[in-house]
Structure 1
Amino acid sequence: MIQNSTNNLKMTKPYVFQVGKTENPQGMLHYLEQQQIPFQIKRTFWISGVPENSVRGVHAHHKDQQVTICLQGKVEVKLEDLAKKQYLFTLESPEQVLFLPHLVWSEFVFYSNAILLVMANENFSEDDYIRDKKVFEKLQDEYRKKL
């Protein structure tokens, strides 16, 4: 397991930004350009077929940062950072992109037929996951002591 210290950590807040869109009678084209993403993409995946009101995520990452786009349907995103600040975002348009920094606890509530696209700055590593909320709470305590 990766043991990350919170020493000298500059916390980055999650935020939503808009992508470009072109619309004509044949439909809409949405686009996201590399300069809009605060990192180089190493991995892309999407989540679909999740039963309505099911929760995905329920973890944080030591290093992995992500941008997420709800391509179809609606996903509510509940986040908590190291300072114990909580955020709630509703993604229901392919024009909205959520930047999810590392060391933020996340829970994604999926609604009917939602499809969530995720792009990450790290390749998959199980060691990067913080799946136990008590472990994350210890990191929060360590972070708060250093303020």
Structure 2
Amino acid sequence: MAHISDCRSVELRTVYDHRGSISFVESGRDFEFPVKRVYWTYDVPSRASRAGHAHRKLLQLYIAISGSFDVHLDDGVNQSVIALRHPNEGLLMSPGIWRELRNFSSNACLLVLASEHFDEDDYIREHAAFMQWVQEGRPT
């Protein structure tokens, strides 16, 4: 069973010097899945929320490459909020977790590295349907 503790904050490797900083991740070193899709979300109004869904199989790495936002996690029993505030912080997202993104700063940009190509069938877009899926033992 998926648990919110399966999602974990990660500090991205970063090189600092007088010219600025560079942070980076490598598939197979910093996270275990191959990257098949990359997307980013930006220009989100501060009072808006994004996501509001769960995935059955998809693994993701969230990175706040600019600005900040909160990731609200729900495994069907437990809830938690993880704040992403700096571009050298990431959040590894496990499947089977409901997520909502809130409290976007004016310059927030979320970069997502995903383990699979887009598949609408992998999404659970209604929280009631998510809770039913959890009660059924999270069938694939």
Q: TM-score, normalised by structure 2?
A: 0.90
How many matched pairs? 134
Structure 2 gaps of 5+ residues are none
What's the C-alpha RMSD, in Å, of the aligned pairs? 1.4
Match of 2:73 among 67, 72, 79: 79
Deviation at 1:128, TM superposition (A): 1.1
For 1:21-40, list aligned pairs within 5 A: 21-34=14-27, 35-40=29-34
Percent identity between matched residues is 33
Displaced runs of 4+ in structure 1, greater than 2 A? none
Q: TM-score normalised to the size of structure 1?
A: 0.86
Alignment partner of 1:67 is 2:58:
no
Match 2:127 to one of 125, 130, 133: 133
- Does the CA-based 8 Å contact 1:60-1:106 persist in structure 2? yes
- Quote the Cα distance in structure 2 between the aligned partners of 1:65 and 1:53: 27
Name stretches of at least 5 consecutive residues in structure 1 with no aligned partner. Answer: 1-9
Per-residue Cα deviation, 1:49-74 (whole angstroms, up to 9, x for no partner): 11112100000011111000001111
* Alignment-mate amino acid for residue 119 of structure 2: S
| Bigger Rg, which one | 1
Aligned letter for 1:58?
A: G
Q: Post-superposition shift, 1:38?
A: 2.3
